[in-house]
Structure 1
């Protein structure tokens, strides 16, 4: 029991320390120039994206420090891959009005590979690979892949206002602390940048939201059997479908207002 508690604390602490240090270093260095990192939020305020790569680094550090074997490999792979796909969308997808699975898949059918489609394909593939590292049977590998990719999408789906994605990570990760250290890593990482996120000075963006969600997905897989995986997979698919519907309705309403 004591060893497991130490592992969770280690993951929390490592995630927080590395994320905080990474955020501070990026703000000082501003690699590529400030324009690369600046966005306008829902309220029209300028915010930076430094928190995104910082929480990716924190989540990886926390998982590497407190886990081992398949859990560590799956967590590191899922976080890095989801973070990279999210970072590509943060940069290449800036200004693209399309959102939701339907819009990007529709563009793909028309021969256009959008940044959102790259993100969808890349994170799904990473989820399946990470799931294969964690499970032995084919059906469990597939369910694990859905859970990891679905969790990555869910956290990004709620990232519409300051602090919401961070709050989701902390709330969704809390039950995972009872089962292992994997969930502690993203919780520590996002807690480190929470004050600036809530204040509207920074945002984790697609980079951080997808990476943190993927880490939570790995924690769910590591702590559940087939029944739990099936329940989580079903819930995440329903959440994704509902979110896509809401996005489509909002996009339609916005188009009608500007018609």
Structure 2
């Protein structure tokens, strides 16, 4: 019963903070945080910073293990993603940004790639004791952040992905409830095409969810998740070069 109450509390804090921050940002309209979506509608990006703060603060009552790692990973994902939201250009995919880096240009995507990766490794080191497990956990955290961003191509898809992937984790601890609560708070607005998560929201939710996954798994589970996430990243990067339409 204590575990259930804590999980509900984590979900509620994350959802409440997210909603409060989102509504507060909406009252301070800023054109830098507006975009045209796939259907040509103007939507705001305020859900991004809102879910980043909601997921981070929501993780605080989750307790150990993993609270500090989740806060670090979620906030880092949100900050790096927000930088790309504001400063980003048309380039997409690892190879495009790494190619620019080889040419001496540091793109916003490269900042996001290395920033989220470094935060994932630090968070993984906070979660696990053995060096191999630390690295695997870091890959899972950063990889999940990238995966959630990868599926964020239509309204509500990233938020619904977080809710679906996080649900099984609720049986193993309250940590997954933080990104789920944050996602639940804005999913209706996302589906209604009033807002979008952007890179800030997708990376924050993904990093927080990845921390919950990493905290709940041993070496074999970490290795399986890491392999799947790396494969998804490679496929996603290749698909950008060979679109089906």
TM-score by length of 1: 0.93
The one of 47, 50, 54 aligned to 1:54 = 50
In the aligned structure 1, how far is the partner of 2:121 from the partner of 2:130? 13
Root mean square deviation of aligned Cα: 1.1
Report SS of the residue matched to 1:203.
coil
The residue aligned with 2:82 is 87
Superposed displacement of residue 7, structure 1: 1.2
In the aligned structure 2, how far is the partner of 1:41 from the partner of 1:58?
A: 24
Deviation digits for residues 190-247 of structure 1 (CA, Å, limit 9, x no counterpart): 1111111001110010000000000111001110100000000000000000000101
- 1:29 is paired with a residue of what secondary structure? coil
Where structure 1 has 5 or more consecutive residues not aligned to the other structure, the ranges are: 255-259
SS at match of 2:31: helix
User: How far apart are the structure 2 equivalents of 1:176 and 1:214?
Assistant: 14
What is the deviation of 1:37? 1.2
Residue 189 of structure 1: CA displacement? Answer: 0.6
Measure the CA separation in 2 of the matches of 1:115 and 1:11. 32
Alignment correspondent of 1:257 = none
Partner of 1:156 in structure 2?
149
Q: What pairs up with 1:1-259 in 2 under 5 angstroms?
A: 2-30=1-29, 34-68=30-64, 70-93=65-88, 96-250=89-243
Contact 1:7-1:67 at 8 Å conserved across structures: no
| Cα deviation code 1:151-182 (max 9, x no counterpart) | 00000000000000011100110111111111
* Number of corresponding residues: 245
Q: Which has the larger radius of gyration?
A: 1
Q: Tell me how far apart the structure 2 counterparts of residues 23 and 203 of structure 1 sit (CA, whole Å).
A: 11
Preserved contact between residue 12 and residue 62 of structure 1 (Cα < 8 Å): yes
